[in-house]
Chains A and B, each alone.
Chain A
């Protein structure tokens, strides 16, 4: 919010003639470059504007970021506290919760209800299946299931323990696929990288390779899509780990 956006009468009286400076214009006044005439105009405004001159001082102090000796210990404490709270990971959106973790958060009553409902579904399904077999002897059910289920996609590598940082991920091509979506995750399901490829392999970008550190297990998975954008095949999740 720039100072001129406020219609408070006190603020109005304490600003200069004309429009107050936007942040990028204030920034220009802290540097050396820029058009001389423009600088002069800004300087004239700042001279008569308490809002902009205060803003410029605050911005200058923020950019300089030089603690006084008496501020050092408190500053170190604050920075440590931030790092203790987890740094970037803490700022990021919450990771996906595993199903067993979610299960653990349910109340005992909910657990009982869900367990009973699951049992009922299993019983009902078994009865239905038995009825079908009785009414249609000799009819195989595998055909219908195959239509509904996407095919299995086979991953080539990396897999298991690897001795060098993999440069690429490779898998067996699927005939009808025109596009593959690749996910690289940590073992807890947190997404590290998502890439796309038209071929049956994809190069790992440098920043992703830098995350492949010894003894850290990563998981990858590939999904294939056809020309209509429909999923035609999906791989199992494959683990790999760099060993020193």
Chain B
């Protein structure tokens, strides 16, 4: 049984007719990935008690929803998505939009400019994206995305991305914030000047 791939285990389980609690294929599948899920949860939660609760919830969720796995991706990729979504939903209430991002979003939101100046919104958003990409380096973009876009805690980002610098994701976030503020200031100035012309 250990030679079977994850996907083969699921196929065998579906064809065996064995009740889930006694299914040796499913037991093999879960014991194979229990450690992987636990490590993800440990990195996400930052403490072992919360990690154990999260891992238990995720494994129960996978167990309940295994029928929805269609085989479009590898089982591990599907499992990753379940882990990721479950953990993100877990902290959704804690996330908030930072001032610096709000400022950039306001500038990029050109619904008024569309009618007054004929500038397509898509074009404006594309320009904003390019500014952000130009302003930030690759790690900063990832950290900003995970923290401001997904509401992921700074420490969790440090652990999940395996950042080794002393302050982890926090340093990248501080640097990104500074660069974005500067970028927003320059952008605003350019926007005002375009409006005056």
Contacts and interface: CB of A to CB of B under 8 A. Distances in A.
A202 B56 CA distance: 37
Contacts, number: 182
A75 B39 contact: yes
A8 B101 CA distance: 12
B90 interface: no
Given A78-B48, A93-B20, A51 B35 contact: no
Given A8-B149, A87-B31, A65 B77 contact: no
Majority-rule SS of A interface residues: helix
A140 B14 CA distance: 51
Interface in A182-225: 186, 190-195, 205, 207-208, 210-211
A162 to B, nearest CB: 19
A65 B35 contact: yes
A13 interface: yes
A221 B83 CA distance: 40
Interface residues of A, number: 60
13 contacts: A3-B149, A6-B149, A8-B149, A15-B145, A22-B73, A24-B72, A24-B74, A26-B77, A71-B39, A81-B48, A82-B34, A88-B21, A192-B22
- Shortest Cβ-Cβ A-B pairs, 6 listed: A92-B21, A50-B141, A24-B73, A50-B145, A54-B142, A91-B63
Interface of A: 1, 3, 6, 8-17, 22-24, 26-27, 48, 50-51, 53-54, 57-59, 61-63, 65, 67, 71, 74-75, 77-79, 81-83, 85, 87-89, 91-93, 95, 186, 190-195, 205, 207-208, 210-211
Interface of B: 12, 16-27, 30-31, 34-36, 38-43, 47-48, 51-52, 55-56, 59-60, 63, 72-74, 76-78, 80-81, 83-85, 97, 101, 104-105, 108-109, 125-126, 128-129, 132-133, 138, 141-142, 144-146, 148-150, 160-162
